[in-house]
Structure 1
Amino acid sequence: MACGQQIGQDDGPGSLRDLIEALRPQADDARVYVHEALDRVGTQSFPAVILIPAVLLVSPLSGIPGTPTLGACLIFLCALQAVLGRKHLWLPGWLTRRSVSAKRMTKALNWLGKPAAWMDRYSKDRLCFLTARPTRPLAYLFVLLTVIGWPILELVPFFTSFSAGAVAMVMFGVMTRDGAYLLWGYVQGALLYLAVLAVATGIV
């Protein structure tokens, strides 16, 4: 059964490749600012906006000190407003003025090209009830709970990349109405935090 047409706050890029191309720096750009990325994607598409930092943190950009914390702040504020039912995203100036060099951004987007193409290729309407409007707030709550630990666990090798991957899967599922990707993200995120908890408590 088809999940239907996306409307309202989900308007925005329909695929990861569209999102990546929207973020790609122009030839004369020295840096890419958060507010520029938001302008290109739109402030009504909460899943797409959350996907921006999530997919970038899957890339080698997550290795830049402070980037996971910045990404966590951005994602947390976006997901919180989505849970509260806001129609338009608002972010403080200190956050929208943050930037990354165009060279680093281009390198990260090129790195993401093949995984994005694979995800787009195998995306379709599945498990529609997981992405329906009544259950969609659960996806944003999952994102909120997931990113809270990023500033503390930033120094744990690969943690941010894998955790951001879970967030990206969930938001990609919401954006494309593919509940299979959303479920994949739930499982990946839960297993990752359970593994960290097990190590921290000495179980393993």
Structure 2
Amino acid sequence: MTLTEASTGRPRAFSDVLATLCARKAEKLCLGEVVEAFGDRGFGPVMFFFALINLLPWPPGGTTLTGAPLLLLSMELALGRDRLWIPRWAERVSVNRQTFRSLTSRFNRPLRWTEAVSRPRLFFLTGGFGQGLIGLACLFLSAVLVLPISGGNLVPAIAIAFFAMGVMQRDGVAVLLGWLTTAAAAAILFLAWKLIVAGFEYGLEAVQRSI
């Protein structure tokens, strides 16, 4: 029996595996430990794990490190890989376990509720082609996370969490929510870019008028 199996041999709930990881005494929680804990359940749980990490209130630039592994995971998902692979150096990426305990306790109730209501449905959204599109969307969202944008981690991380839950549970409704949140993230990024360009143009005009 592994961390991903209950005494009956059935897969354990994602929230139960998180609880086991939180209960361990080591100060640091490494990515390699997370991958080992979820075994061959693949991309969904590990991507959901990193989505939770990126929901923390990081300072500008903080998500550059926490979002980088998601770039690799998203690329593998987009390429249609069956099994998760991470390089040796990435296995050593870690987070303080007490910080992770606090984050997990904050999301534990909605996570268990989501697990209770989600179920396999709308399979075309989570099949091979659907997962490829999810990988491309998560690649875009991960790239946004890596950018040093203050407060720019929230919406992309929520979108990735929806996609990851959809992949884990084969739940097309969760995937649809992921697509809607991705659209919101793209709209916010577009508006932010327009504001930056408008501010630059206004400043340039002001300089020209003063000459």
1:91 is displaced (CA, Å) by 2.0
Q: Which amino acid aligns with 1:184?
A: L
For 1:190 and 1:14, the matched residues in 2 are separated by: 32
Partner of 2:3: none
Scaled by the length of structure 1, what TM-score is found?
Answer: 0.81
Aligned pairs, number:
187
Q: Rg bigger for which structure?
A: 2
For 1:44 and 1:120, the matched residues in 2 are separated by: 15
Q: Which amino acid aligns with 2:150?
A: V
Q: 1:64 to 1:94 in 2, by over 3 A?
A: farther
Write out aligned runs for 1:70-109 (5 A): 70-109=65-104
1:43 is displaced (CA, Å) by 5.1
Q: Which amino acid aligns with 2:83?
A: H
Partner of 2:209: none
Q: Which has the higher helix share?
A: 2
For 2:79 and 2:125, the matched residues in 1 are separated by: 19
Write out aligned runs for 1:121-136 (5 A): 121-136=116-131
Give the % identical residues.
Answer: 25
Q: 1:19 to 1:142 in 2, by over 3 A?
A: farther
Partner of 2:15: 17
1:65 is displaced (CA, Å) by 6.0
Contact 2:74–2:139 (CA under 8 A) maintained in structure 1: yes
Structure 2 spans left out of the alignment, 5+ residues: 1-9, 199-211
Contact 2:159–2:178 (CA under 8 A) maintained in structure 1: yes
1:75 is displaced (CA, Å) by 1.0
2:95 is paired with a residue whose SS is: strand
Structure 1 spans left out of the alignment, 5+ residues: 1-11
Q: 1:115 to 1:67 in 2, by over 3 A?
A: farther
Q: Which amino acid aligns with 1:197?
A: F
For 2:11 and 2:182, the matched residues in 1 are separated by: 24
2:161 is paired with a residue whose SS is: helix
Question: What RMSD, in angstroms, separates the aligned Cα atoms of the two structures?
Answer: 2.3
Runs of 4+ deviating beyond 6 Å: none
Q: 1:13 to 1:142 in 2, by over 3 A?
A: farther
Partner of 1:165: 158
Contact 1:169–1:185 (CA under 8 A) maintained in structure 2: yes
Greater shift in the superposed pair: 125-134 or 164-173? 125-134
